Amino acid sequence: MGQTLTEKILEDHLVEGELETGEEIGIEIDQVLTQDTTGTMVWLQFEAMGLDEVQTEIAAQYCDHQTYQFDFKNTDDHRFLRSAAGKYGAHFSRPGNGICHNVHRENFAAPGKTLLGSDSHTPTPGGLGELAIGAGGIDVTVAMGGAPYYIEMPEVVNVRLEGELPEWATAKDVILEMLRRLSVKGGVGKILEYTGPGVESLTAPERMTITNMGTELGATTSIFPTDEQTEDYLERVGRGDEYVELQPDDDAEYDDEIVVDLSDLEPLIAQPSMPDKVVPVREVAGQSVEQVIVGSCTNGGYEDILPVAKMLEGRETSMETETIVAPGSKQASEMLAREGWVAEMMAAGVNFSEATCGACIGIGHVPSSDSVSLRTFNRNFEGRSGIEDDNVYLCSPEVAAAAALKGEIIDPRDLADDLGDLEAPGIELPDEYTGSKTDLIGPDEAVDDELIKGPNIGDVPLKDQLGSDIEGEALLKMEDNITTDHIIPATQDILMYRSNVPKLSEFTLSRVDDTFAERALEADGGFLVAGENYGQGSSREHAALCPMYLGIEGVLAQSFARIHRANLFNFGIVPLTIDEDTYENIDQGDEIEIVDDVYDAVTSGQEEFTVRVNGDEYTAVLDASERERAILAAGGKLSWTKDQAEGAG
């Protein structure tokens, strides 16, 4: 039987297990990336493991999420990250140089390689044939130290593209169509592999818009085969020698198939406040728009902004609409500036911004209350823009530019009819990506060779080996669908403490109960109780690390979100599944005791545990692989990895 492209790359990197759906496999990682809000903990953990040097082919540290310097805390973090990159042998991208995914694709992403990144949009270079996965920071730390990355083998789905995009329809509309059909849960446990005759009509940057936003489907990753388009892009970024041809076998077998005819697509838009609330632009046309932002890791490339510049050239944006262009990388800014496009856009009324995540996470350009903001980003969750009553729509750069000109939502085809002389700009790549590399410091050019820790840089808390007796109070009882944002919010005032766990922990679950952190510290041990889908959302490891710091030893939930469940193991917290009846019978403040010898039960593979609550006994289930049990028993992944290294050494 033939192989899918996913299987070929995985087999090339397989160090443990078999490529069977649902089986745990260990794969070798070639490249890692981290950004500033997850990177500090990655390097502190790297230091705590006693590792000397990065072992992957490429490790890259980007500063993109928090580039505005409010006070010493961000600059402390950035200086620490530069020093860690220098000391351990990673590339360092300075604040303002661009968003991790954009800078990575321009400089490092390569076909056939594996990439692990502590950011959920790490799958972006799947458009270049790289198998790229987002994970928790500690997983990235361990991979950077040379150990395999473990994952349950996902299903591989064939997304067959047919036809060619008509005028005014774009790559963004392809992924919006996928979201319209599959919803934000449609890709969970799956790798989406794009195939079919439609693939060759899409340039590599267009493919990367699609793979970037595969994350919104919940997919493990998305990947395209490589061909002339891939080679062409790599040549233009000056890395033509890294091209490798990669195709699935003709008789490859997939777990499922989805067919998208590109020629049927039209301009689409995701309505507030979920990326899968997708409708044709014409269905919501006519609403006035106060703000338009073009940028982010999804549509912040040179090729995304050029069509906007062409549409705005010689025209003026609406008086009612504030229009912002925030390129994804400084290279894109520099090229657009050298070619005169920045001046054209400014003359048309555009406010040109630094290359940063910024507005995507509510840092800068917060919309006015209850107003419509059109963005080319990938997420529009309620409140993400910086205010709770936001109305953020997601669309292509062309739809955004049309709204900037008209002052209201309009299908660009209709605007073209109105104006008479507006042509579809199409997609155009530069002959050569020429931006200077001043802000990307290679391991050979390192500025520092020792770690520099300012007062905002804390230590990594470590947990002891799992104990035999676990008992304590049900410190908090929560409903279904508690997100990592509930557990550790990502707002600007809190984000700056990501490298300072004692301080950050004060905000743990404050959105649910602002007395929780204090009570947990006082209790020195205890449980969290939750309904279904506990820990959904991002890969944020602080959502497990901070509860661990506060002394939480177990979480009893009806079900767990996949990445958060892994993070609980990684930080030595026992995740036990309970049924609805048990959930109903536990009240906040109840005393809970795990009757079994927990250490023995975990290490011997026992699945059912007896939990005593107010004298009554219930069954709770630990569903875990042998490796996950070993991590839990060691007190978390950091301790486990250290033990492994000592054992091997």
Nearer to ligand SF4, 64 or 471 (CB): 64
Contact 217, 182 (CB under 8 A): yes
* Contact with ligand SF4 (CB under 6 A) among 73, 121, 190, 375: 121
Show the binding pattern over residues 7-46: x = contacts ligand SF4 (CB under 6 A), - = does not.
----------------------------------------
Nearer to ligand SF4, 46 or 62 (CB): 62
Nearer to ligand SF4, 119 or 139 (CB): 119
Give the number of other CB atoms < 10 A from CB of residue 267. 24
Rounded CA gap, 630 and 106, in Å? 39
Distance in Å, CB of 37 to ligand SF4, minimum? 9
- Pairing relation of β-strands 24-27 and 149-152? antiparallel
* Contact with ligand SF4 (CB under 6 A) among 357, 394, 504, 520: 357
Rounded CA gap, 559 and 534, in Å? 6
Residue 623: burial class (beta carbons within 10 Å; 0-12, 13-18, 19+): exposed
Q: Which secondary-structure segment (H or E) carries 618?
A: strand 616-621
Nearer to ligand SF4, 120 or 465 (CB): 120
Rounded CA gap, 80 and 89, in Å? 14
Distance in Å, CB of 269 to ligand SF4, minimum? 18
Rounded CA gap, 74 and 375, in Å? 26
Nearer to ligand SF4, 116 or 460 (CB): 116
Distance in Å, CB of 121 to ligand SF4, minimum? 5
Residue with tokens 């911004």: 353
Contact 213, 120 (CB under 8 A): no
Distance in Å, CB of 358 to ligand SF4, minimum? 8
Rounded CA gap, 590 and 60, in Å? 47
CA distances, 186 to each of 113, 181, 219, 220 (Å): 26, 8, 8, 11
Contact 524, 549 (CB under 8 A): no
Nearer to ligand SF4, 176 or 517 (CB): 176
Number of residues that bind ligand SF4 (CB under 6 A): 12
321 sits near ligand SF4 (criterion: CB under 6 A): no
Contact 308, 400 (CB under 8 A): yes
Contact 173, 39 (CB under 8 A): no
Rounded CA gap, 96 and 66, in Å? 10
Region binding ligand SF4 by CB under 6 A among candidate stretches 106-114, 302-310, 355-363, 501-509: 355-363
* Contact with ligand SF4 (CB under 6 A) among 32, 138, 361, 474: 361
Nearer to ligand SF4, 300 or 575 (CB): 300
Region binding ligand SF4 by CB under 6 A among candidate stretches 38-46, 134-142, 270-278, 354-362: 354-362
Residue 646: which residues within 8 A CB-CB, separation 6 or more? none
Distance in Å, CB of 475 to ligand SF4, minimum? 31
104 sits near ligand SF4 (criterion: CB under 6 A): no
* Contact with ligand SF4 (CB under 6 A) among 378, 385, 483, 499: 378
Distance in Å, CB of 277 to ligand SF4, minimum? 18
401 sits near ligand SF4 (criterion: CB under 6 A): no
Distance in Å, CB of 297 to ligand SF4, minimum? 3
Distance in Å, CB of 328 to ligand SF4, minimum? 7
* Contact with ligand SF4 (CB under 6 A) among 99, 336, 416, 586: 99
119 sits near ligand SF4 (criterion: CB under 6 A): yes
Nearer to ligand SF4, 145 or 362 (CB): 362
Q: How far is CA 30 from the centre of its chain?
A: 19
- Pairing relation of β-strands 322-326 and 616-621? unpaired
217 sits near ligand SF4 (criterion: CB under 6 A): no
Q: How far is CA 527 from the centre of its chain?
A: 28
* Contact with ligand SF4 (CB under 6 A) among 195, 296, 456, 538: 296
* Contact with ligand SF4 (CB under 6 A) among 51, 269, 297, 566: 297
Nearer to ligand SF4, 318 or 538 (CB): 538
Give the number of other CB atoms < 10 A from CB of residue 12. 14
Q: For residues 41-70, which are near ligand SF4 according to CB under 6 A?
A: 64-65
Region binding ligand SF4 by CB under 6 A among candidate stretches 6-14, 342-350, 356-364, 617-625: 356-364
* Contact with ligand SF4 (CB under 6 A) among 135, 324, 348, 360: 360
Distance in Å, CB of 378 to ligand SF4, minimum? 5
Rounded CA gap, 643 and 48, in Å? 12
400 sits near ligand SF4 (criterion: CB under 6 A): no
Contact 385, 367 (CB under 8 A): yes
**Mind giving me the DSSP string for 264-282?**
G---EEEPTB-TT-EEEGG
Show the binding pattern over residues 226-265: x = contacts ligand SF4 (CB under 6 A), - = does not.
----------------------------------------
Rounded CA gap, 437 and 425, in Å? 29
Region binding ligand SF4 by CB under 6 A among candidate stretches 237-245, 353-361, 572-580, 593-601: 353-361
- Pairing relation of β-strands 268-270 and 278-280? antiparallel
**Mind giving me the DSSP string for 445-501?**
G-S-SS----TT--PPP--PPP-S-EEEEEEEE--S--BHHHHS---HHHHTTTT-H
Residues forming contacts to ligand SF4 in the complex (CB under 6 A) are: 64-65, 99, 101, 119, 121, 296-297, 357, 360-361, 378
